Amino acid sequence: MRNEKNLTILIPVRDDWAALSLLLRALDLEFANAEANTSVLIIDDCSEQRFVESGIQFGPFANLDRIAILELKRNLGHQRAIALGLTYIDANIDTSLVLVMDGDGEDTPGEALKLIARCRELGNSKIIFARRAKRSEGPIFRAGYSIYKALYRILTGRNYRFGNFSAIPAKFLGRLSVISEGWNHYASAVMKARVPFEEVATERGPRLSGKTKMNTTALVIHGLSAISVHSEVVGVRMLAASLGLTVVSLFLVAIVAAVRLFTDRAVPGWATYVTAFLVVIMLQSVTLSFFFSFIVLSGRENATFLPERDHHYFIAGETVVFERGQAGASNA
């Protein structure tokens, strides 16, 4: 039986120690009335500068009870770090609720309390995701993000309006630990596995320190990872689209043939070129769609990463850096 007052905050970090330090201070202030035993698990995604070399001070804190750092053996990226962290918490930490948030401060402690409150209001029956009601990025990013959301909707049939920032009842951790798609993208994996969830409108805060390390390549990989979780659906939709294109191509070929045979408007040679062009498009579309579909289906037979089974291969160790009532850090 889990202690209903225990709350664990999961924060993946890579070399963002200055922002993390400010975030921990803000969490300590904001959680004064949280009525919970709050611990923080920081996933160090193989930082170039370890926390012991960064000069970051952990504590003293008045409202955070325990802070531990789980160091990974190699850099995995935020999505995989989250998957490992959730599995580790399920196996090793007594908690009733897990709050997943980024360490740069853009996921604010005030909005975190809204997610926790809504989760408790629903009796811990759903995962609560933060939906950005107002974004702080520039117009170019917002335009690109709108295009990506439209593409996600077309390819998967689902709306993508939230990210990692969420409150997870502990009873769902066991389910998340056996969802292999979480290795690619946490939020999309929750949707695919049909874990019940709800969205709460939140506002994005400013970055507390430093600059983001997410470049265009990383953003594209992140977006494609979210879509890849629904690869079966994408494959079926691409196949349906290619069949539709085939029907349209055949219809256009019939029109070309009718114009060529039954009218005197045909330009010498044009019917042959147009028909050949349409046939090439049709064959390429069908071939690529079938090829992609068979790749997706064959991939279902291959062994995949299972967080519950494989997470320990990537964990270097846990270090407790702050515990209220104790003077120094200890290793676990």
pLDDT digits (tens, 9 = 90+) for 198-236: 999 998 888 898 787 777 777 788 888 888 888 778 878
Residues 173 and 275 in one domain: no
Same domain for 236 and 160?
no
d(CA 70, CA 312): 11
pLDDT on residue 151: 87
Residues 115 and 252 in one domain: no
Tell whether 295 and 315 lie within a shared domain.
no
**Same domain for 183 and 258?**
no
The values of phi and psi at residue 166, to 5°, are -165, 160
Note whether residue 68 is domain-resident. yes
pLDDT at 285 over 90: no
Q: Assess whether 98 and 243 both reside in one domain.
A: no
Does residue 301 carry a pLDDT above 60? no
Question: Quick one: pLDDT at residue 127?
Answer: 97
| Same domain (yes/no): 144, 254 | no
Whether the Cβ atoms of residue 66 and residue 28 lie closer than 8 Å to each other: no
Read off the pTM: 0.82
Find the range with the poorest average confidence among 67-71, 88-92, 148-152, 266-270. Answer: 266-270
Domain extent, residue 283, equals 232-299
Q: Please tell me which residue, 226 or 294, carries the higher pLDDT value.
A: 226
Residues 100, 140: one domain?
Answer: yes
Q: How many Å apart are CA 237 and CA 251, to the nearest integer?
A: 21
Mean pLDDT, the chain, integer: 86
Q: Is residue 149 domain-resident?
A: yes
Share of the chain above pLDDT 70, in %: 90
User: Looking up tokens 């798609």, which residue turns up?
Assistant: 181
- Give the residue from 66, 93, 69, 25 showing the smallest Cα distance to 323: 66
Residue, of 298 and 28, whose pLDDT is higher: 28
pLDDT at 332 over 50: no
| Residues in contact with 129: Cβ distance below 8 Å, sequence separation at least 6, in sequence order | 115, 162, 163, 165, 166, 187, 190, 197, 198, 199, 200
Mean pLDDT confidence for 266-290: 75
Predicted confidence (pLDDT) per residue in 44-93, tens digit: 999 998 888 888 888 789 999 999 999 999 999 999 999 999 999 999 99
Within 10 Å of residue 102's Cβ, how many Cβ atoms?
Answer: 20
Q: Determine the Cα–Cα distance for residues 302 and 300; give it in Å rounded to an integer.
A: 6
Q: Are residues 281 and 145 in the same domain?
A: no
For residue 330, pLDDT beyond 50: no
For residue 309, give every residue at least 6 positions away whose Cβ sits within 8 Å of its Cβ, in sequence order, or none. none
Measured from the Cβ of residue 318, the count of other Cβ atoms closer than 10 Å reads: 16
Highest mean pLDDT, choosing among 97-106, 142-151, 262-271, 301-310: 97-106
Residue 224 inside a domain? The answer is no
Residue 63 counted as domain residue: yes
Q: List, for residues 2-35, the tens digit of each pLDDT value.
A: 777 899 999 999 999 999 999 999 999 999 888 8
Using the predicted structure, report yes or no on whether residue 136 has a pLDDT greater than 90.
no
pLDDT for res 192: 87
